[in-house]
Amino acid sequence: MRYTEFATRLDESIAEPGEPSSANDKATVVSALEQAGYEVKISGNKLGILTDEQRETVLKDALAYLQKKFPHGGAVYSSDPKIGSSIGGIKFEGSPIVVLARPKSKQGGSSSGKLNEENIRAMLQMLIMEYKSINVTFVDKRGLKMGIMNCNQVDDASMNVVDRQKADLILSSSDGKTLPISLKKVQADMWESADSTFGERAKTILANLQEQGVVKLEKFKTDKGGYFKLTKEIVVEPSPEEAMGAIFGSDLFKRGGVVVQTFKDEHFVTKDNNVTIQCEYIFTKKEDIPTSHLMVWIIRNDKTRNNPLPGLRTLGVTLARGIGKAGTKNAILVDVNGNVVQNPNIK
């Protein structure tokens, strides 16, 4: 699939023109942001998007999304620091609600995926203790299902990363069957760190883009030698094999799958020893993957990393992370053959 198809298909959750605005209702705006995959911290009428990315870019991306979601809401960017942040934020016409971007790393508590794994594992283990074995069915909002009968054991597999294994949990049954699953929180946007899988090809792509004059690398000197900095992120379309490897690894395809949900008690529906687990998305094969979660490579700035060059890092991320949830992120797009392509959503 090419980027023109990527961008025009993003995002099925965005409102069609003419949808009446509900941007004056805080719960509706929070729901819209969470539906788009943002992690939101609420403080009165201030809605903080938690992120470790460049906050100005996240705000621009969120503004484009909210303008499509609430076409009559009057969403605009305000640079006034009195709005609640030194970099400004998003406000709505006739509404006290403002949307800000907050650094996730400075928030209290943990937002790691590990808590998500522990929530589901603890719930299943309690049911197994009560019933000895349980029948587990994961079902997503589209009606797709994945499950295992007579499950009597749930193991943490998150540290098993040899040979590109992706499972976080392995559910086992009394008759010897297993179901490996990878768990992603709703706001998670990364598939894998790609230094080893994509770093070398990223060097070639960078060299070609520099030769064409498409990208400029600034070099900064330090006591340890220096590092490079990009003016724009580079988003690279993967081959089908690369995408499948980043998402399903060596252990999930045809054996298990990926479950997208930030688990809470209300997502578990039990009846005797039968438990149904409600999810945002489930995918066990390529055709199940929603547009927003298609995989792309990115080359981005990170002073702590060294691949493909000092100061740069490569990642496998969701499409929504790569080109923005509204498809309007101003990044350099490169197709699977190494050609620069135009994002039709950038005017």
pLDDT, tens digit, for every residue of 25-57?
888 898 888 877 788 888 889 999 988 777 888
Q: Are 119 and 126 in contact (CB under 8 A)?
A: no
The predicted model gives 266-272 an average pLDDT of 92
pLDDT > 70 fraction of the chain, expressed in percent and rounded:
89
**pLDDT digits 0-9 by tens, 94-150:** 899 999 998 876 655 444 556 678 888 888 999 999 999 999 999 999 999 999 999
Residue carrying the six token digits 């992706």? 166
Largest CA distance in the chain: 65
Identify the bridge partners of residue 295 per DSSP, sorted by sequence position.
318
What is the total residue count of the chain? Answer: 347
Q: Is 74 exposed, middle or buried (0-12, 13-18, 19+ CB in 10 A)?
A: middle
Q: Is 263 exposed, middle or buried (0-12, 13-18, 19+ CB in 10 A)?
A: buried
Q: Are 64 and 326 in contact (CB under 8 A)?
A: yes
pLDDT of amino acid 224: 73
Lowest-confidence range among 60-69, 147-156, 315-324? Answer: 60-69
Q: Are 24 and 94 in contact (CB under 8 A)?
A: yes
CA angle 125, 276, 250 (to 5 degrees): 70
The predicted model gives 67-78 an average pLDDT of 89
**pLDDT digits 0-9 by tens, 169-216:** 999 999 999 999 999 998 888 999 898 889 899 999 999 999 999 998
State the pLDDT confidence band at 347, using cuts at 50, 70 and 90. low
Q: Are 150 and 175 in contact (CB under 8 A)?
A: yes
Q: Indicate the residue type of 77.
A: Y
What average pLDDT does the structure give for the chain?
86
pLDDT > 90 fraction of the chain, expressed in percent and rounded:
47
| Whether the predicted pLDDT of 327 surpasses 70 | yes
Q: Indicate the residue type of 105.
A: S
| Whether the predicted pLDDT of 2 surpasses 60 | no
d(CA 158, CA 10): 31
Q: Are 99 and 41 in contact (CB under 8 A)?
A: no
